[in-house]
Amino acid sequence: MKLKRSGILTKIIVIILVAYAAISLLRLRERIEEANRQKALLEDRADALELENADLQYMIDHSDDDEVKEQIARDELGLIQQGETVYSGE
């Protein structure tokens, strides 16, 4: 009789441990998925910053070009040439 009782207790302990392990694995999986989502967002942000850096480097490298100066004056400063008319889509 004693052997059967310890056998049942062992089974209960094993079931509890398996349930705990399963719950732990599910939580870990959720954390991994969240980390992957954050990684994707950071990679997208890094790509956007690399493009912005490339544009800025181009402007630095060609800062003596009149076309680049004009583009900076239009985009960054909102300037227009004399005689131009600006139409706003807003």
- For residue 80, being part of any structural domain is answered with no
Flag whether pLDDT at 24 surpasses 70: yes
Domain that holds residue 60: 2-75
Closest CA to 59 of 48, 71, 47: 71
Comparing CA positions, the residue from 27, 26, 5, 8 lying closest to residue 16 is 8
Q: How many domains is the chain built from?
A: 1
- pLDDT recorded at residue 84: 81
Q: Is residue 84 part of a domain?
A: no
Q: Is residue 90 part of a domain?
A: no
Q: What is the pLDDT of residue 2?
A: 53
**Does 31 reside within a domain?**
yes
32 within a domain of the structure (yes/no): yes
Over residues 60-84, the mean pLDDT reads: 83
State in Å, rounded, how far the first CA of the chain is from the last one: 86
Q: Is residue 82 part of a domain?
A: no
